[in-house]
């Protein structure tokens, strides 16, 4: 009973956030919290996760494709997604309300580092990684509500919000078997590069200036990235298209505004890159969802 009461409070918060963004153009932070809401089935291929992410399903069902496995989460259950990673996914609205609703919270590298320092949750102390998906419980829900209280304050209190994000991580790693979220932030060159590019996705980034900031030669950076099966352009595409996908799902901003935010000079070129990556267009994802083809 308590589980359902806590879960309903989170659901009410998420629906209120969706209504707020429909009423006014609020500022958006990809590094904090977002609410995904759709009325039609969404199928999205190869979604990049550059930061560890918690996705709590509040209405409908979410499916992640992990290799040849399909992992599903219904209302009240969650995905604890490591980074950097990439998954294809499908969002299914429920039959009664024709609504898919999910709360998404991301954890950036400085927060993960701070958590490790406070609680000594380093790879050698983590034990066996947990499951990608898990069942929600009253402890997790109450911890999330504790964080969401900060989001409802008239003025953002970043320090308080940071402490409550640490509380969520502690709950996930200690009580929900999600220690793999910490293993994800390994300090890889891909992670270092993406963290830099995310500071200004719309900027015209050049390899020479990036290498100067990272204190590494261009050939050395290229070699490191090849060992991680990626490239400078590949990481840049992940950052820009991942941010674009988040802004399409978390805001009601125009497609042209999102394209500009993410470094694309024209809506047509942005739409083509988005379609090639995710197998759906930005407008199609928002209005009617993609055709139900197989991945």
The 10s digit of each residue's pLDDT in 120-143 is 755 444 444 456 888 999 999 999
Q: What is the pLDDT of residues 43-58, one digit of tens each?
A: 999 999 888 999 999 9
H or E stretch covering 272? helix 267-278
Q: How confident is the model at residue 26 (pLDDT cuts 50, 70, 90)?
A: low
Q: Look at residue 125 in the predicted model and tell me its pLDDT.
A: 46
Using pLDDT thresholds of 50, 70 and 90, give the confidence band for residue 173: confident
Per residue in 229-243, pLDDT (tens digit) is 999 999 999 999 999
Q: What is the pTM of this model?
A: 0.83
175 band by pLDDT with thresholds 50, 70 and 90? confident
- Distance between CA atoms of 180 and 143, rounded to whole angstroms? 19
Residues 6+ apart with CB under 8 A from 140: 78, 168, 171, 172, 175, 176
**Triad 123, 127, 129: Cα angle to 5°:** 85
Cα-based distances in Å from 91 to 41, 98, 226? 6, 12, 33
């Amino acid at each position: 009973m308590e589980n359902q009461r806590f879960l309903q409070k989170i659901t009410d918060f998420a629906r209120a956030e969706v209504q707020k963004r429909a009423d006014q153009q609020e500022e958006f932070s990809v590094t904090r919290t977002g609410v995904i809401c759709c009325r039609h089935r969404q199928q999205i291929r190869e979604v990049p996760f550059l930061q560890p992410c918690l996705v709590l399903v509040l209405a409908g069902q979410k499916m992640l494709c992990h290799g040849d496995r399909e992992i599903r989460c219904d209302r009240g259950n969650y995905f604890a997604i490591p980074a950097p990673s990439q998954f294809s996914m499908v969002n299914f609205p429920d039959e009664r309300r024709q609504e898919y609703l999910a709360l998404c919270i991301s954890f950036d590298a400085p927060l993960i580092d701070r958590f490790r320092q406070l609680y000594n949750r380093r790879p050698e102390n983590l034990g066996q990684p947990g499951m990608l998906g898990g069942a929600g419980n009253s402890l997790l829900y109450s911890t999330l509500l504790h964080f969401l209280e900060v989001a409802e304050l008239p003025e953002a209190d970043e320090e308080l919000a940071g402490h409550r994000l640490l509380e969520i991580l502690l709950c996930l790693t200690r009580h929900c078997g999600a220690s793999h979220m910490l293993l994800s932030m390994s300090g890889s060159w891909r992670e270092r590069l993406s963290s830099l590019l995310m500071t200004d996705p719309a900027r015209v980034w050049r390899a020479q200036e990036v290498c100067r900031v990272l204190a590494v030669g261009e050939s050395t950076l290229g070699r490191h990235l090849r060992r991680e099966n990626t490239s400078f352009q590949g990481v840049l595409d992940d950052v820009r298209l991942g941010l674009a996908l988040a802004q399409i799902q978390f805001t009601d901003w125009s497609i042209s505004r999102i394209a500009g935010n993410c470094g694309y000079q024209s809506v047509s070129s942005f739409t083509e890159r988005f379609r090639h990556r995710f197998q759906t267009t930005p407008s199609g994802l928002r209005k009617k969802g993609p055709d139900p083809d197989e991945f």
